[in-house]
Amino acid sequence: MTHKILVLPGDGIGPEIVAEAVKVLNVFTAEGNLSVALEYANIGGIAYDKEGQPYPDSTRALAQKADAILLGAVGGPQYDTLDRPLRPERGLLAIRADLGLFANLRPAILYEELASASTLKPEVVAGLDIMIVRELTGGIYFGQPRGIRVLENGERQGFNSATYTESEIERIARVGFETAMKRNKRLCSVDKANVLEVCELWREIVEKVGKEYPEVELSHMYVDNAAMQLVRAPKQFDVIVTSNLFGDVLSDAAAMLTGSIGMLPSASLNSSACGLYEPIHGSAPDIAGQGIANPLATILSVAMLLRYSLNRPELAERVEAAVEKVLASGVRTGDIYTEGCRKIGTVAMGDAVVAAL
């Protein structure tokens, strides 16, 4: 069976890091271990430049037929003055909605070799391994009504709606519990149920789904406390499940605890196992085209792609082991460089992973 993979290099360092990740897939196909058909399309700023839209119809058509999507990054300062609907990040929001990618899995893992990059004390973060399950197609990101209106007194008022239905909460809660079942069986649901009605319903439904997972130890935490606890004692968490907006904030905080966001992948899944895989770092326009970007987060995104969309956990593990081996060998891109290591560029890092495979 040949898997259709859509590759969306995007902006900034996107094309460079995606090229290295594709090399990893090529290793498996060359081995005869995997059959993939790669197609390429535009998203973000480059899509606007070439096709006038951040998520063009041509890309949409390919995305809807793909088994999995590998994305680099979107955005750049040259697009900041565009009308909002045309900006690169709107392409990202559009593809999430279009494909129903409601479950965003964002691991925050501290690699032992890179522990010193964290701004936190070693004992606080050593061995950190959290999985954040963020709802990605609902909540205030997509809620209606929204806009800027003029009130009777002539003043303008901006307004957005945070909404969740029972079924939206139920399906993301289920992903949270299933993820916890495969890990250490502890799930923390983060909300603000002491203030927001939408979170009252969230908590009620998470509790209800929890009844089906008696083995999972479920806890609830308010979002302000969760932000505190991530700083105070992050290792208390195994899996966190939360809404779109809270997940946006907490997953970035959690990622930064590791000190090396150039290492962190993500997966955005829908109900039919199609997924979009991307590094969590941005397009880094300041270093684009210089051949110095770290491709490891994108390579680890390929590992997630193999695991979640292609159902090839053994290949995913090989990728992850190869990355660990490369780190252990002491080579580093600039963003994760420390004294005593050998600094190499994007292509050399990709080659090192290929060699380790």
Q: Which residues bind ligand IPM (CB under 6 A)?
A: 89, 92-93, 194-195, 224, 248
87 or 332, CB closer to ligand IPM?
A: 87
81 known ligand binder: yes
263 or 349, CB closer to ligand IPM?
A: 263
Residue whose token pair is 């590791």: 258
The type of residue at 342 is R
Asked if residue 33 lies in contact with residue 27, where contact means CB atoms within 8 angstroms, the answer is no
84 touches which of its own copies, ligand IPM, none (CB within 5 to 8 A by kind)? its own copies
121 touches which of its own copies, ligand IPM, none (CB within 5 to 8 A by kind)? its own copies
21 or 255, CB closer to its own copies?
A: 255
Asked if residue 336 lies in contact with residue 260, where contact means CB atoms within 8 angstroms, the answer is yes
Q: What are phi and psi of 188, to 5 degrees?
A: -115, 120
17 known ligand binder: no
Catalytic residue among 248, 277, 308, 335: 248
What CA–CA distance (Å, rounded) separates 227 from 10? 31
103 or 322, CB closer to ligand IPM?
A: 103
Q: Residue 153 burial (CB < 10 Å; 0-12/13-18/19+)?
A: exposed
348 touches which of ligand IPM, its own copies, none (CB within 5 to 8 A by kind)? none
Q: Is 224 a catalytic residue?
A: yes
- Kindly state the smallest distance separating residue 150's Cβ from ligand IPM, in Å: 27
What CA–CA distance (Å, rounded) separates 131 from 234? 11
Residue 155's CB: how many other CB atoms inside 10 A? 8
Asked if residue 212 lies in contact with residue 248, where contact means CB atoms within 8 angstroms, the answer is no
322 known ligand binder: no
List CB contacts of 276: < 8 A, sequence separation 6 or more: 68, 69, 71, 95, 96, 99, 101, 267, 268
**Interacting residue ranges for its own copies, rule: CB under 8 A:** 84, 87, 89, 93, 119-121, 124, 140-141, 143, 146-148, 151, 155-167, 192, 194-202, 223-225, 227-228, 230-233, 245-246, 248-253, 255-257, 259, 261
- Kindly state the smallest distance separating residue 236's Cβ from its own copies, in Å: 12
284 known ligand binder: yes
Q: Is 192 a catalytic residue?
A: yes
Q: For residue 38, what are its two tokens? A: 């790669």
Q: Is 351 a catalytic residue?
A: no
Indicate the DSSP class of residue 2.
Answer: P
11 known ligand binder: no
Q: Is 238 a catalytic residue?
A: no
2 touches which of its own copies, ligand IPM, none (CB within 5 to 8 A by kind)? none
Asked if residue 41 lies in contact with residue 69, where contact means CB atoms within 8 angstroms, the answer is no
18 or 120, CB closer to its own copies?
A: 120
Residue whose token pair is 């580093």: 332
229 known ligand binder: no
Enzyme catalytic residues: 141, 192, 224, 248, 252
Binding site per annotation, positions for substrate: 96, 106, 134, 224
